[in-house]
Amino acid sequence: MRIHAERGIYFGKIESDGIRLTIEGAFLVGPKAERNVIELDREKMLKWMKGEDVPVDFEGNAWVILKHNMYYLGGGKASGGVVRNYVPKDRRIR
């Protein structure tokens, strides 16, 4: 029997055009981030945590950190005024 275990925390994934942060990665990086941080209102935060893409006032095509008040919600890909959702299905709210 083989058991594979890794130590540490899954922080994010390096993509060809940047880093896609997990919720934990956003909590670690978010307080120091000076750009590409998008504040969501309660309605958009709930949509995000349900796994939906959300419309935002963000120009450009970049990996962003999403937050609501002081709570970091993870990272997503902003493009065309929408942030694509990467919250894993098992971490979404119903």
At 22-57, the pLDDT tens digits run: 999 999 999 999 999 999 999 999 999 999 999 999
Taking residue 57's Cβ as centre, other Cβ atoms within 10 Å add up to: 6
pLDDT band at 2 (very low <50, low <70, confident <90, very high): low
Q: What is the pLDDT, as a whole number, of residue 4?
A: 54
Percent with pLDDT over 70 in the chain: 95
17, two tokens = 């055009």
Mean pLDDT of the chain: 91
Q: Which residues, 6+ apart, have CB-to-CB distance to 68 below 8 Å?
A: 39, 40, 41, 42, 45
Q: Which domains does the chain have, with CATH numbers?
A: 12-91 (3.10.450.720)
* Contact predicate 12/25, CB 8 Å: yes
Q: What is the pLDDT, as a whole number, of residue 1?
A: 56
Q: Mean pLDDT over residues 49-74, rounded?
A: 95
